[in-house]
Amino acid sequence: MSEFNILSSCCQPSDETQENTSIDKELPIAIIGAGPVGLAAAAHLIQYKQKVIILEAGTEVGANILTWKHIRLFSQWKYNIDKAASSLLEKYGWETPDLEGIPTGKELVENYLIPLSKIPELQEVIALNKKVLSIAKKNMDKMKTANRDNVPFVIYTEHKGTIQVIEARAVIDATGTWGNPNPANSNGVWLESEQYLSENIFYGLPDILGESINRYKNKKVAVIGSGHSAINALLELGRLKEKNPLTEIIWVIRKERVEDAYGGEEKDALEARGLLGSKIHEMVDKGKVRVHTSFRVKELIKNNNSNININGEVKGVKSEIQLIDEVIVNTGNRPNYSFLNELRTKVDFATESVEAISSLIDPNLHSCGTVRPHGEKELRQPEKNLYIVGSKSYGRAPTFLMATGYEQVRSIAAYMAGDIESSERVELDLPETGVCSVNFSNITPDNSCKTDSCCS
C-alpha cells in the first residue's frame, strides 16, 4: 500500500491553506467495497489505465455474499459477470462458467470474485480488513466551499486497530446495504428491547438446513417479512419440519391477504419466481405454516420463560404472538451514510437512494423489471468526483439488479477517463421481464428448480 499517499497513522491532515492547490492526478480513485460492483468498477477503470485502490472492511472479497453462500441466485451467470472483469480474467486463462448456469453465493465468490481479485492488476490494489471510518475533503469540513473541487478526498481507515488516512482524487462508494438490516418494528425504528434479543434473532438468510440446523429444528420459529428472502426461510423451515415434526413455523406479514405474497405463480413471466410463490402457497394450504396477516410489529420482548413475545396490532387492535424460540427478520436493508457525513450528498428522504434516481427505482411505482438503466449523470453527487453505486445507490428499495450495478460503474469509469461518449451510452442488456434478485437454495444439476426452496 506504500504507493498510495497515506498521510499518517493517527493524525489529522495539516492546516495548510488549500486555496491555490489542485488535485494530484497521480492520486488513486478509491473504491469502497470489494463486492461484485466494486471489483467491476476497478476492472473498468483499469481498462482505462486509471490508478485505483480498493478498500474492503472484510477479510476477503465478497465477504457479504459469503453470509448467504448457501443461497442460489435466480439469475444466470451471464447476468452476474461484468464485461470488463471477464475481459481481464480471460487474459489470464480464466475458465468461463456455463453462462446459462445459476451460481450459489459461494460459487459466485469462489469461481468469479476470488479469481478476479487475484489477477495482478487487482491483487496489488486491494486492501482487505480495512474499514472506512470517514471521508472528507482535505483540510476542510462540509461547510467550506472555496476551492473545494480542487482538493483531494481524505479517507480515514482502520486496519487491525491502527488508523490511517489515505488521499484519493475520487471516491466510488460500493459498500451496499447488506449487513445493515431494517428492524422487525413496522415503523422502521430500532428499539433497545429488540437489540437485547440479538441471540434469538437472525437478520437475513440463515443456513437453516446446514450450519444452523440445530438452532431451528424442533423450535417455534417466527419469520417476519413477505419478500422472497422471507419465503426462502419459510420453505427451508418447511423442509426442516419434514424430518423434525416438532418444528413450528409462524409467518408474520403486514399484507392483508397472504395471497398477495405469492406473486404471479404460474402466470409469472419468470418461471422460477412463479414457482417460489406456488411452493409457499402450497405450504400454507397444507397448514405447515401459521400465518398472521395485517400484523404490525411494535416490539419484541423476552417473557418470563426466556421466549420471545411479538407485540403488535392487527387493524388497530392490540395483538400478541407468544412463546417464540427464534425469530428470522426479513424486512429489508438500509444504507449506511455515516462515513459520508462530511461530504456533500443528495439523498432522497423516502427511499434513501441517490436522489436523482429515486423516481426510477421507488418500489411503490416500479418492480425490478421496470427500472430504467442509468449511469454517471444520474449518480453524480454535489461533491465532485463522489459516486454512490450498486445496491447502496438504491437505498431501501429492493429493486436493484447486479447487472444494473455493472452498467453504473461502466458509465462512471468512462466519464472519469474522459470517454464522455461512452459514459452517455446505455449498454445494459436484460430480458424484457428483468432479472430480479430472487435466489434458489435448491436447484438440480441441470439448473431446474426443485420443489423446495427459492428466495430473494
**Mean pLDDT of all residues belonging to the chain:** 87
pLDDT of residue 15: 44
What per-residue confidence (pLDDT) applies to 452? 30
Q: Taking a C-beta distance cutoff of 8 angstroms, is the pair 326, 283 a contact? A: no
Q: Say what the pLDDT of residue 260 is.
A: 85
Instruction: Name the DSSP class of 61.
Output: T
Q: Is 100 left (phi over 0), alpha (psi -120 to 50) or beta?
A: alpha
- Asked whether residue 442 carries a pLDDT value surpassing 70, the answer given is no
- CA dist 356 and 365 (Å) reads 15
pLDDT tens sequence across 236-256: 999 999 999 999 999 999 999
pLDDT at 267 over 90: no
The residue to which cell 424484457 is assigned? 432
| Greater model confidence, 197 or 304 | 197
Whether pTM exceeds 0.85:
yes
Q: How would you class 140 by CB atoms within 10 Å of its CB: exposed for 0-12, middle for 13-18, buried for 19 or more?
A: middle
Over 90: is that where the pLDDT of 274 sits? no
Place of cell 482505462: 48
The residue among 355, 445, 336, 389 whose CA lies nearest residue 72 is: 445
- Is 257 a residue whose pLDDT tops 70? yes
**Per-residue pLDDT reduced to its tens digit, 296-325:** 999 999 987 789 999 999 999 999 999 999
Instruction: Tell me the CA distances in angstroms from 341 to 28, 90, 179, 237, one per residue in order.
Output: 22, 40, 20, 41
pLDDT for res 440: 34
Cβ-proximal residues to 39 (8 Å cutoff; 6+ apart), any chain: 54, 61, 82, 85, 113, 116, 117, 122
Which carries the bigger pLDDT value, residue 226 or residue 85? 85
As a three-state string, the secondary structure of 349-366 is CCCCCEHHHHHHHCCCCC
Within 13 Å of residue 434, how many CA atoms lie on the same side as its CB? 18
- Greatest mean pLDDT among 192-201, 238-247, 266-275 lies in 238-247
d(CA 212, CA 208): 5
pLDDT tens track for 401-410: 899 999 999 9
pLDDT greater than 60 at residue 75: yes
Instruction: Please tell me the predicted confidence (pLDDT) of residue 456.
Output: 33
CB 408 within 8 A of CB 176: no
What backbone phi and psi angles, to 5 degrees, belong to 297?
A: -70, 130
Q: How far apart are CA 302 and CA 304, in angstroms?
A: 7
Angle of helix 36-47 versus helix 83-91 axis, rounded to 10: 70
Residue 166 has pLDDT above 50, yes or no: yes
With left for phi above 0 and alpha for psi between -120 and 50, is residue 196 left, alpha or beta? alpha
Q: What is the pLDDT of residues 93-103, one digit of tens each?
A: 999 999 988 89
Whether 290 has a pLDDT exceeding 90, the answer reads yes
Q: What's the pLDDT at 333? A: 94
Could you give the domains of the chain? Answer: 6-179+333-435 (3.50.50.60), 192-331 (3.50.50.60)
17 vs 343: which has the higher pLDDT: 343
